[in-house]
Amino acid sequence: TGSTRPQRLLRAVQKKATQGDPQSVIATIDHFCRHSEWAMNVGDEKGSILDSVVTELNPSSALELGTYCGYSTVRIARLLPPGSKLITLEFNPAYAAVARQVIAWAGLNDKVQLVEGPSGDLIPQMKELFGVQTFDFVFLDHWKDRYLPDTKLLEECGLLRKGTVLLADNVICPGTPEYLEYIRNSSRYESRYFKSHLEYTKVEDGLEKSVFLG
Ligand SMILES: O=c1[nH]cnc2c(O)cc(-c3ccc(F)cc3)cc12
Ligand SMILES: [Mg+2]
């Protein structure tokens, strides 16, 4: 009964990062994943692209699918304007428990609502449970086989508006071919691929940014 990798990542954050300082939490996790144990955070290279998309959009309401240890949650929430809200969905309770503590250490509790459960069940409840009208920004980073069904669900539940930006991680590695096929051929989206690398490696990966046209 040893510790898990997410628990060791959390321990590194609580040991080395400054409480209330999101940048130091980000830097600590990147150092841990580069020099101690690889973990599936979006990472610093793709994370910079994520930062530029969020900064340009300045969203009031954002959704993240797949919290894991909270690394991208912290990256996004630190850039949000006062009064805005990031809802992040995680179905693995062990990951959620670690992420709550990482988000708290970064001092971002007032901007983030972490909800445990399967995205397919939670997305239809967004309006009634969290008073969401539509999302300005959605970061897809949970499971490759859920990207397409969850995107269709977001459309059907009226959670996207003209101009909503979807940003999808891992469209090359592990790869989301059905999602790419749909989103790149749909007249309801304008898409662009940002070539990058799998976190902390030289393997190709990238982010797909898609604007919903309504
Ligand atoms: O399952 C994943 N969810 C979200 N993000 C991921 C991510 O950024 C990377 C990977 C991943 C990539 C290569 C590999 F050899 C093993 C795992 C998985 C996920
Ligand atoms: Mg990912």
Residues carrying an active site annotation: 141, 144, 169-170, 199
CB-CB contact of 87 with 60 (8 Å) = no
Q: What is the pLDDT confidence band of residue 73, given thresholds at 50, 70 and 90?
A: very high
Q: pLDDT, tens digit, for every residue of 94-134? A: 999 999 999 999 999 999 999 999 999 999 999 999 999 99
Burial class (CB in 10 A: 0-12, 13-18, 19+), 198: buried
The closest-lying atom of ligand 1 relative to the alpha carbon of residue 141 is 4
Ligand with smallest separation from the Cα of 146: 1
Mean pLDDT over residues 153-166, rounded? 98
| Rounded Cα gap, residues 180 and 146, in angstroms | 12
Q: Measuring from atom 19 of ligand 1, which residue has the nearest CA? A: 40
| pLDDT value at residue 115 | 98
Residue type, 173: C
* DSSP string over 107-129: T-TTTEEEEES-HHHHGGGHHHH
ipTM (interface pTM): 0.99
The closest-lying atom of ligand 1 relative to the alpha carbon of residue 199 is 8
Q: What is the pLDDT confidence band of residue 1, given thresholds at 50, 70 and 90?
A: confident
Q: What is the pTM of this model?
A: 0.99
Q: pLDDT, tens digit, for every residue of 29-64? A: 999 999 999 999 999 999 999 999 999 999 999 999
DSSP 207: E
Ligand 1: centre distance to CA 154 (Å): 23
Residue 28 has pLDDT above 90, yes or no: yes
Ligand 2: centre distance to CA 33 (Å): 14
Best of 49, 50, 198, 208 for a ligand 1 pocket test (most atoms within 8 Å of beta carbon): 198
